[in-house]
Structure 1
């Protein structure tokens, strides 16, 4: 299984002045695996996500992609290496079409002179966006419709579908089911399953423990900046996971 590791943090530490956010934290994600990252507020999840996404550099430890040590100078470098991150704010532009959002920042230009003049190849983007969302398991039609016409769950599905479309290695999802109803959250979880089927590594950060237990293969628990558990999801129950998160137990078997 070690050969399947696509992305990992090894002994990562990060401090903000005298406040220690992470202390020797390690976690890995394998190809075709969904890893749940959980912990109370202040556990260090946001800091670890920012380091994995290239928004922060660690004070110590290392980041490795396909076994090679990497040092991201910006989120753009991580993106170009195949690491897509979706934060709680999906980053969609509600007044753009679905295809416009999928290609936001990566627009296709028309061939020839029109492209040199800055004209977009909207038909090509619509076709490619539709194909990409189909691969991501998003079953609704309408890539020409604006995002503000869709439900919250569908918007999140579009945002994750965009990440799946462009990710080559890993997608990092920060609270993607937050504030969604059961049906809408289910749509988002299904997109995550499809990403796993497509061979991507998925890091799923959430406070909604039933979602973590439903869709992940493995759970990593952070507490006060340290990884206190890293075990198959099947080892946890809702009660045992909550106890490890809050410090009432050191392992799901305790």
Structure 2
């Protein structure tokens, strides 16, 4: 659905990403792992249309593409859920769900919002994701972090996302809330969405991932399907196995 082939991104003499390849396939979760400074944010920016790549190719449904804006990516069905979620905490859940895409009746500037319909649609979409709220009118800021992530994912799917890019969705969550988000990721995958799951947590990645790419200093150091790598190998690569062994030796703990 979306594929990067040898993609790179440079800012003048600074090379943020070099020769990275990955693809998001329907009904599959591609996990991109890496520490701070690995190039994950640059990768998200390229796939979401925030900035163009400077080398390699980006293919959407097999066609070479260079996005001029995030709106262009979204129009092609590529939705990004950022870590900050871009929600308005004091606004009702249903209003956040339809934010910027409200259903209206009549013509501008006298058009009114179809509030009952929006509440019904939002509630049904959330229930499909396993989120049952006692009151769809409650401020979204009163929901847990996992529930807010679920609302953002359900919103993207409802508005036609074919590819869902998730930016560190479990980074600031506890164990229980992270588990809820991973269930939402699995639900999106089972709905036929191609998911790109950006994370620094190999345990979370391995629970839902079908394909794993590890970035280090802008380059891919591992590219493997689920059956080709174990959780232990994934964790060791993320932790910098060789570097840790060398450090243990230097500290006299090897």
TM above 0.5: yes
Displacement after TM superposition at 1:167 (Å):
3.7
- Flag the structure with larger Rg: 2
Q: Is the CA contact (8 Å cut-off) linking 1:133 and 1:165 kept in structure 2?
A: no
Displacement after TM superposition at 1:246 (Å):
4.6
Residue deviations 1:70-114, cap 9 Å, x none?
11100011011111101110111111111111111111112x36x
Give secondary structure in 1 for the equivalent of 2:172.
coil
> RMSD value over aligned CA atoms?
1.7
In 1: Cα distance, 2:161 partner to 2:148 partner:
22
**Aligned residue for 1:154?**
147
Displacement after TM superposition at 1:17 (Å):
2.2
Report 1:1-254 matches (<5 A).
Answer: 6-110=1-105, 112=106, 116-248=109-241
Give secondary structure in 1 for the equivalent of 2:237.
helix
The normalised TM-score by structure 2 is: 0.89
How many aligned positions are there? 242
Structure 1: unaligned runs, 5 residues or longer: 1-5, 250-254
Residue deviations 1:105-147, cap 9 Å, x none?
111112x36x641321111111111222233332334322211
Residue deviations 1:177-236, cap 9 Å, x none?
112111111111111111011100000011122111111111111122222222123433
Displacement after TM superposition at 1:38 (Å):
0.4
Displacement after TM superposition at 1:14 (Å):
0.5
The normalised TM-score by structure 1 is: 0.89
| Range 16-25 or range 47-56, more displaced | 16-25
Displacement after TM superposition at 1:243 (Å):
2.7
